[in-house]
Amino acid sequence: GGNRQSGLTFAPEAGTQRMRDIVNKGLTNEELLRGVKTAWEQGWDKIKLYFMIGLPGETDADVLGIAETVAWLQRECRAKGRKPLSFNLTISNFTPKPHTPFQWHSVSTSEFKRKQNLLRQEFRRMKGVKVNFTDVRLSAMEDFIGRGDRRLASVLRRAWELGAGMDAWYDSIERAFSAWGSAISEVGLTWKYRQVENGEWNVMEARCERQEEDTFHPTLPEGQSTSPQPQAPSPSFDAPLPWDYIDTGIDKQWLKADLERAYSAATVPDCSFDGCSHCGVCGVDFGHNIVIEPPPIGQFAGHFVPNNTKVQRLRIWFGKLGDMALVSHLDLLRLFDRAVRRAALPISFTNGFHPSPRISITQALPLGVTSSGEIVDFELTQQLEPETFRQKLSSQLPGDIPIYQVTSIELKDPSATKILSGAEYLLTVATPVSVNLVQWQEWVEKVKDLDTIWWEQTTKSGKTQMVNLRDRLFELEVVEPKNRSSSEDNDSVILRYLGSCQQDGNKLRPEHITYMLEQVAQVEFQLLHIHRNRLLLEAVIK
């Protein structure tokens, strides 16, 4: 059973066998062709391929090998009366990572651009190939961050303050790049970023740091001189690396030897199945490599046929507690999908080319937030007693996803998302200095006494608008610590609030509560923990 995947992706990584041997990919041209041809014969007429450029030891012939490989695969997958196989290619710029043999490798931004242009010219001549190149600025920034040292901490904080969040690159590359660029410049590391861009990375570090002396003054522990220690530029191989102090078990000498092996295109066998290359991992500290045999592949039971009959709809109230707070919304959907299948529950599937199980979670919970009041709807192909459903589903879910209640609703009833009107939260909020309960209550009352508290909101289309947060707040109170005397100081409390939570974006988020408190208290608050207590549906809140 399960969902049909919308695309099929292969990752040959490099365009020539030599390069694939350098990166120890362990994939031959024949194997690649066999995989692609099998998919084509099974009905796929579009395949995604993932390649990298800028790998160590790469020549222009290797770069052009990517286009040659794609052309060859197209030639091999042709038949009369059949649409020719088309490809969606992603070509990324290789970004070296610490603790790998390629941790000393660098490629300049201009070299990446030149290689991208070489490929653009080749692909211009080919039909049925869509190519997506990774922005060279994104790669340079990834490299700067990936191989940064402790000075990076200030950059990360500042970039975050300037709006460079997790998805910022995908929302707007210009805005994200500008936030990172400003953060790097404010911390005085522009010279280091330029090094990465120029492909120099840790070469000449000592000299550049001396040049930077006028603008960058790290705080040193008391008693230490701030004058730079003169050092000759050291060859990058022998220079200490910022992450050397982390013991992954792999010997640095082995990494150097492996880089040399890579340059000579010698492949290193996977030690799970073939000889040990003495990388240093096995030993008293890390134990030994134990290979667990995969379980036998079961008998093919025929292709999955989705059943889209809808006979019953169940609404479930559940919790997301403890470590489960770290399971993302999409992973939670997958978790329910798997639990339903393991419990052999008769779930109904959507129609169309990509049928998916009819499981709909009412309101995504942000990562890290716990809850005891989530709602999910399931549509079934057969009638089941709600209690039987609860028991079967619970038996396949982790203990921190408790099921509180299961109710049967009409098939035609509106979705819980549509009738969602409010949400109740418990917030653990801290102040920089300890204050007593009386002070907390005073701040809470002040917020409640106000008629308007304006907040500038940016819409999805990028427009800004002012919203009155006070309109969205229904209840607010201090609930903990209950048995603390009102004069006793403490730096955190638990607040309970009930606010609007509607599908159209009329939502009162936890950070809005701290903002409102900051307006009346003139103190900066910190949200230590968020717990969603319950979601309220229209029929419940009057």
Q: Give the chain's end-to-end CA distance (angstroms, integer).
A: 43
Q: Retrieve residue 317's tokens.
A: 């109230």
Residues found near ligand SF4 in the complex (CB under 6 A): 271, 276-279, 281-282, 289
Vertex 281: Cα angle to 278 and 286 (nearest 5): 145
Burial class (CB in 10 A: 0-12, 13-18, 19+), 234: middle
- Sequence-distant (6+) residues with CB within 8 A of 329 are 361, 364, 365
The separation between CA 134 and the C-alpha centre of its own chain, rounded to angstroms, equals 17
Are 283 and 126 contacting, i.e. CB atoms less than 8 angstroms apart?
no
* CA distances (Å), origin 423, targets 156, 282, 330: 32, 51, 21
Give phi and psi for 262, each to the nearest 5: -60, -45
Please, what is the minimum distance in Å from the beta carbon of residue 290 to ligand SF4? 10
Q: Which is nearer to ligand SF4, 278 or 484 (CB)?
A: 278
Please, what is the minimum distance in Å from the beta carbon of residue 25 to ligand SF4? 18
Please, what is the minimum distance in Å from the beta carbon of residue 501 to ligand SF4? 50
Separation between Cα atoms, residue 473 and residue 467, nearest integer Å: 12
Q: Which is nearer to ligand SF4, 8 or 282 (CB)?
A: 282
Q: Which is nearer to ligand SF4, 269 or 414 (CB)?
A: 269
Please, what is the minimum distance in Å from the beta carbon of residue 289 to ligand SF4? 4
Q: Which is nearer to ligand SF4, 64 or 271 (CB)?
A: 271
- 3-state class (DSSP) for residue 434: strand
Strands (E), 438-515: 454-458, 464-468, 473-480, 489-500
Q: Which is nearer to ligand SF4, 246 or 290 (CB)?
A: 290
Q: Is 201 left (phi over 0), alpha (psi -120 to 50) or beta?
A: left
Q: Which is nearer to ligand SF4, 271 or 321 (CB)?
A: 271
Helical packing angle, 60-76 and 109-124, nearest 10°: 30
Please, what is the minimum distance in Å from the beta carbon of residue 147 to ligand SF4? 23
Please, what is the minimum distance in Å from the beta carbon of residue 456 to ligand SF4? 54
Please, what is the minimum distance in Å from the beta carbon of residue 281 to ligand SF4? 4
Separation between Cα atoms, residue 3 and residue 506, nearest integer Å: 33
Please, what is the minimum distance in Å from the beta carbon of residue 270 to ligand SF4? 8
DSSP 344: T
Q: Which is nearer to ligand SF4, 142 or 258 (CB)?
A: 258
Q: Which is nearer to ligand SF4, 39 or 281 (CB)?
A: 281
